[in-house]
Amino acid sequence: MTDADADAKPLVLLTNPIHPEAVARLEPHARVVTAPDTGADTLRRLAQGASGMIVRAQLPDDILDHAPGLRGIVRHGVGLDFVPLATATARGLPVANLPGSNTRAVAEYAFAALLDLRRRLAHLDRTLRRDGWLAAKTLASDLPEIGGTTLGVLGLGEIGRAVAGIGRHGFGMRVLGAARTPRNLDGLVESVPVERLFAESDAVVIACPLTPETRGLVGAALIGRMRPGAVLINVARGPIVEAEALADALEAGRIGGAALDVFAEQPLPEDHRLRGCPNLLLTPHVAGTTATSLRTMGLGAAEAMLAILRGERPATVVNPEGMAEKGGASQPSAAAIAPSSASGLVCGA
């Protein structure tokens, strides 16, 4: 391949690395550039020549002002708060995401966190090594089981339904659910107001999207309704939970514990108050990150991006009204970017 051939290909900007198999799928049809960092100025500079973007990090609100040749955006994941969706739609740019691509990973994380908070295996291990057999064995006498308790799920999309299913069928939990729109879940979940969900649940899993309505939703009022031994697990977005209200409850021992995978500011600052809270499990936004989910998301993102470059509607486009005609001499023909049948991916909702 000559330099001229390479330059003729559309440029696809990755905000972060994606699975090598996904890069290999893109490279015959596009120049793939991975941003060296996710700083706003870096992304604005690299977007100048981009025909497509695959997004794993927050985009600057004005990114589209710096991407005059952009044909579309693919979210490597599900949540759309990383993308200026309204602006993209207004400009006729399609945006696709990958619903269901990391559902299992996030649901598994939610129960890994719940098991950690309830059965305290790592704590028992440390106590046994430090203080001996009897000291660790005594601690177990006060640890509750999960089965038969009440699980509250805030948000009943793909992930919320998966969490509810594991709780109900895997652990025999009573499951309460609250969602913005009513859903038919065939008796899996008892639909209740959010205030009742927090008041009656032994564990609350937050799995709703970040919207103007959910930002700061879980604050002092809802946390104050939780039972003394209840735990809170956030696998959604950090700003949904008011960090100060949660820290107050944990430090005062008013709830049993919490697990946070997401934060309003990421990375979590070294001096953040949450770092010193008792009974709090902290992880660096990895609930949906496994070897399996990264491959699925990477290949799904590659196929959606190739569809956009062909001028086609991706199967998982979230703003079909954004599919404006994008002509131009640099647009490759559909035959030049043929769909792959090798990945076997189904990225439906």
The domain defined by 3-101+290-336 folds into Rossmann fold (3.40.50)
For tokens 């609100």, the residue is 61
For residue 78, give the DSSP letter.
S
Count CB atoms within 10 A of the CB of residue 140.
12
Tokens of 150: 């009440």
Count CB atoms within 10 A of the CB of residue 28.
12
Residue type, 196: R
CA distance 97 to 20: 19
pLDDT in tens, the chain (349 residues): 455 555 689 999 999 999 999 999 999 999 999 999 999 999 999 999 999 999 999 999 999 999 999 999 999 999 999 999 999 999 999 999 999 999 999 999 999 999 999 999 999 999 999 999 999 999 999 999 999 999 999 999 999 999 999 999 999 999 999 998 766 677 899 999 999 999 999 999 999 999 999 999 999 999 999 999 999 999 999 999 999 999 999 999 999 999 999 999 999 999 999 999 999 999 999 999 999 999 999 999 999 999 999 999 999 999 998 675 444 333 444 444 445 433 332 222 2
Q: What is the pLDDT of residue 3?
A: 54
Phi then psi for 108, rounded to 5 degrees?
A: -60, -40
pTM beyond 0.85: yes
Q: What is the pLDDT of residue 7?
A: 67
Question: Which CATH entry fits the domain spanning 103-282: 3.40.50.10860, 1.10.260.40, 3.40.50.720, 3.30.70.141?
Answer: 3.40.50.720
- Give yes or no on whether 3-101+290-336 and 103-282 have one common fold: yes
Q: What is the pLDDT of residue 343?
A: 34
Q: What is the pLDDT of residue 184?
A: 66
**Domain assignments of the chain as residue spans, ordered by start:** 3-101+290-336, 103-282
Contact status, residue 164 vs residue 190, Cβ threshold 8 Å: no
For tokens 């700003």, the residue is 239
